[in-house]
A and B are shown apart, each in its own frame.
Chain A
Amino acid sequence: MKAGGLREGDFRIPSGCAVAGIMNEDGKRFNGEKIVQAISIMRERSNGLGGGFSAYGIYPEFKDYYAFHVMFDHEEGRHGTETFLQESTVVVKSEAIPIRKQLSMTDAPLLWRYFLEVPKSRLNGLTEEDYVMRLVMHVNDSIEGAFVFSSGKNMGVFKGVGYPEDIGRFFRLEEYEGYLWTAHGRFPTNTPGWWGGAHPFSLLGWSVVHNGEISSYGINKRYLEMFGYRCTLMTDTEVIVYLLDLLMRKHNLPLDVACLVLAPPFWRDIDRMEENRREAVTALRMIYGSALLNGPFSVIIAHENEMIGLTDRIMLRPLVIARKEATLYMASEEAAIREVCPYPDRVWTPKGGVPVMARLNEAAAVR
């Protein structure tokens, strides 16, 4: 993955940020203009050193295949990756990701996408998702000049160095239609200016946009390493994605329980719970203490059928929620929501550490 120059993974970069998310729970798809508009109103919260989007439901014609978005520093990286993918999967389709050059953006890497099928015969006892996770880890760890930044089905991440609205135009997001969009504008204290370092971070169907710094990063990372995750980027956000993957996919915890791990109640509140819940939450803290996200954060997590907003236990970073009929909005600032939905039915601030969720209605659930 690495070639010349300093970048994420070489050292850790604290940052502040803006986040936004919009989801239509009926599964109605809409193009990327709204989310670009929403995030751009919070321009003061970012500094032009990173922006990005995730979009769900955008590849209906390829919805059964893993959509890999990959950035390359050079052609050799692309050849190496393509050879590897052809050896390990069936490449159903490969193409350059369509872009529109922006004056303000330089140093764009080569951007490609691949739709992949995993032949059952190659799994060797692994689940399909574990197999795909290993492919991602291998490319990112071992193939020089290549970085997989999106690997889920019927979803995609678009990100780079620049202000988010420029990134949106660059990737021509108005041409995509999805039912769930999240966005991020980044304010790193320092950056080597690498496109892979921008948000969202994504693995399989997960994507995370994150405003904050996780003060427990050191132990979260070491904990994940015990389960085979390699945190190569040294960013907090990567850790959130892997924790969710571990808790929900591998340990089978439902989302609300996983959120109790990431931002658990305080002991004094646990001690006052009714017995079953107290026993359960106490055990969660005992067993998953190393997965607690401590320090300031607000985060929007997206997954195939859901969007979750979550802040740290004592709300050190902002998050505002709004609902208008079947659409749920989340953003760092209310203005971002008002920009695209001037008259929501309801606007509120969630309680620290308590997740807010949007879910696709059963009828609309798409897989």
Chain B
Amino acid sequence: MLNFLPSDFSVLIEPESCIKCRRCVRECSFEALVFRDRVVPDHSRCVACHRCVAVCPSGAITVVRNRLAFRQNANWDEEIIKNVYKQARVGGKLLTGTGNDKPYPIYWDHLLIDAAQVTNPSIDPLREPMELRTYLGRKPSRLDFYHDAGGGFKLTTVLEPQIKLETPIIFAGMSYGAVSLNVHRALAAAARRAGTLMNSGEGGLHESLYSFGENVIVQVASGRFGINRAYLERAAAVEIKIGQGAKPGIGGHLPGEKVTGEISKTRMIPEGTDALSPAPHHDIYSIEDLRQLIYAIKEAVRYQKPVGVKISAVHNVAAISSGVVRAGADFVTIDGFRGGTGATPTIIRDHVGIPIEMALAAVDDRLRQEGIRHQASLIASGSIRSSADVLKAVALGADAVAIGTAALIALGCQMCQKCYTGRCAWGITTQRVDLTDRVDPEEGAERLYNLLRAWSLEIKEILGALGLNSIESLRGSRERLRAVGLTGTEMEILGVKPAGR
């Protein structure tokens, strides 16, 4: 039988421009280019990662969509047809990387931010104070003080551990294994410089990064990789990972061939064995079990660090979050369905979960209704693409946001969605040494720091326009958002009025 699967892209090489240096052939980790007296592309292997385009000294290469036309069909589109071909051949689950690429509504883009005019003045963020400092951790509902006769006072309430952030943006959990050690190094150094946090993800923390512990959230996920006392003790906070927006309710595994020497040491498992993360934590089958693990970790760190829980945004996220807070979580990370991943079945990524905007609004509302909003900080993630998204998330009620995909794009990711192949040509989601060298940890840290700095400057700019000089005055202030193009129900859930009201 003829086995026809049209390629997604075409690699065009201008023969007059090509100087036959073969750099593109060496750089293409997907083996889409070979040299036979000239550079010959294998279109079917091209993933549009643009590495060849970027390295070509004479600008001879471009990558275009395969022009082969399928008959236009809004129902059976090209991707769906190709997926059927692929599955009919192999009989397996479709696998993908990064976040959901389907045209679901992006509610951030339906929310507009207020500004001050006349009745309240805007503030110049360059010359007047503008504060982004944020503390993550469980807070009491009130404080008590001891007052001395001289008018001085001293706090008598004993506070639970808090983490100070200089900007309300942290890096999302991405494991060493899913990303390379150089990526982890860049994230750690940038987090330290910006006064914020990286998140180890579920694959442990490489020994060389233990010294960055004060700027690291370490994860305890179902696979329990790389967890020992030092791991918990060196970190700023511990996060129990229950779910991930891109793949709610399912586990994952790092294939054995990626479990190389350093990863094996970091995850504390033998080289070459699959690193399986079960779908659930097998010591958590209920909310009371979650409490049990939260307190096991609090006991292990002697109550010196916040212990949080990361869940994916699912239909009943408000009630679940309320339970999570009552179970003792000091912060809750909610990851929306557009969040990224190193590998997940496409069918899960594209069809399971709910948007972070709705989830965040619903959770913040519920925790307030129950009077427990102060008991945990809320971290929103799942496709935060710009400082505007950060601000809108904060206005909906987030204490901070976590960025994963944006951070990887800052390191050069072209969003080709092939993270799961381990061939990342930009050296980000791979463990092949020839590829991981393509990320320079110091330059990477610089870029990540620049991104945080740029977004923080923009946040200050907008706060100034709002007439606010402190981020906490926007936090949860949905009054400063208006909706365009949303239904009444959507606005009700988001707690915002339509533009013009």
Closest approach, in angstroms, between the C-beta of A354 and any C-beta of chain B? 14
Q: Which A residues between 209 and 252 are near B, CB-CB below 8 angstroms?
A: 212-213, 215-219, 221-223, 225-227, 250-252
CB nearest to B136 among chain A residues? A286
CB nearest to B472 among chain A residues? A289
Question: Is B478 among interface residues, defined by CB-CB distance under 8 A?
Answer: yes
* Complex interface: chain A residues within 8 A of B479 (CB): 12, 217-219, 221
Question: Is B470 among interface residues, defined by CB-CB distance under 8 A?
Answer: yes
Number of residues of chain A lying within 8 A (CB) of chain B: 48
**A213 and B120 alpha carbons, distance in the complex (Å):** 6
- Contact partner, A215, options B147, B466, B472, Cβ 8 Å: B466
- Contact partner, A286, options B135, B473, B477, Cβ 8 Å: B135
Question: Is B218 among interface residues, defined by CB-CB distance under 8 A?
Answer: no
**A317 and B147 alpha carbons, distance in the complex (Å):** 31
Question: Is B145 among interface residues, defined by CB-CB distance under 8 A?
Answer: yes
* Complex interface: chain B residues within 8 A of A296 (CB): 120-121, 467
- Contact partner, A226, options B128, B373, B480, Cβ 8 Å: B373
**A280 and B154 alpha carbons, distance in the complex (Å):** 6
B145 touches A280 (CB 8 A): yes
Closest approach, in angstroms, between the C-beta of B421 and any C-beta of chain A? 45
Question: Is B433 among interface residues, defined by CB-CB distance under 8 A?
Answer: no
B468 touches A285 (CB 8 A): no
**A253 and B155 alpha carbons, distance in the complex (Å):** 11
Question: Is A119 among interface residues, defined by CB-CB distance under 8 A?
Answer: no
* Complex interface: chain A residues within 8 A of B123 (CB): 314
- Contact partner, B121, options A217, A286, A288, A316, Cβ 8 Å: A316
Given contacts A16-B119, A218-B477, A280-B153, is CB(A286)–CB(B162) below 8 Å? yes
Question: Is A15 among interface residues, defined by CB-CB distance under 8 A?
Answer: yes
**A150 and B208 alpha carbons, distance in the complex (Å):** 65
Question: Is B142 among interface residues, defined by CB-CB distance under 8 A?
Answer: yes
**A226 and B365 alpha carbons, distance in the complex (Å):** 10
* Complex interface: chain A residues within 8 A of B374 (CB): 226, 287
Instruction: State the total of A-B contacts with C-beta under 8 angstroms.
Output: 126
- Contact partner, B129, options A213, A287, A314, Cβ 8 Å: A314
CB nearest to A212 among chain B residues? B120
- Contact partner, A294, options B140, B151, B155, B468, Cβ 8 Å: B468
CB nearest to A252 among chain B residues? B144
CB nearest to B466 among chain A residues? A215
Given contacts A15-B119, A286-B139, A287-B374, is CB(A222)–CB(B162) below 8 Å? no
**A267 and B368 alpha carbons, distance in the complex (Å):** 27
| Interface size class of chain B, counting residues whose CB lies under 8 Å from the partner chain | 35 or more
CB nearest to B156 among chain A residues? A280
- Contact partner, A295, options B141, B373, B467, B478, Cβ 8 Å: B467
Question: Is B157 among interface residues, defined by CB-CB distance under 8 A?
Answer: yes
**A303 and B439 alpha carbons, distance in the complex (Å):** 63
* Complex interface: chain B residues within 8 A of A222 (CB): 368, 476-478
**A296 and B123 alpha carbons, distance in the complex (Å):** 10
**A287 and B467 alpha carbons, distance in the complex (Å):** 22
A254 touches B147 (CB 8 A): yes
- Contact partner, A292, options B120, B142, B466, B473, Cβ 8 Å: B473
B477 touches A213 (CB 8 A): no
* Complex interface: chain B residues within 8 A of A266 (CB): 129, 131
Closest approach, in angstroms, between the C-beta of B397 and any C-beta of chain A? 9
Question: Is A325 among interface residues, defined by CB-CB distance under 8 A?
Answer: no
* Complex interface: chain A residues within 8 A of B162 (CB): 286
Instruction: Please list 6 pairs of residues, one from A and one from B, whose beta carbons are closer than 8 Å in the complex, sorted by A's number.
Output: A215-B468, A216-B474, A218-B476, A254-B145, A267-B131, A287-B142
A residues in contact (CB < 8 Å) with B: 11-12, 14-16, 189, 212-213, 215-219, 221-223, 225-227, 250-254, 256-257, 266-268, 276-277, 279-280, 283-290, 292, 294-296, 313-314, 316
Apart from A14-B119, A216-B474, A314-B129, list 12 A-B contacts with CB within 8 A.
Answer: A212-B120, A215-B120, A217-B477, A222-B477, A266-B129, A267-B133, A283-B157, A286-B162, A289-B473, A294-B469, A295-B467, A314-B128
Nearest 4 Cβ contacts at the A-B interface: A218-B479, A289-B472, A218-B477, A294-B473
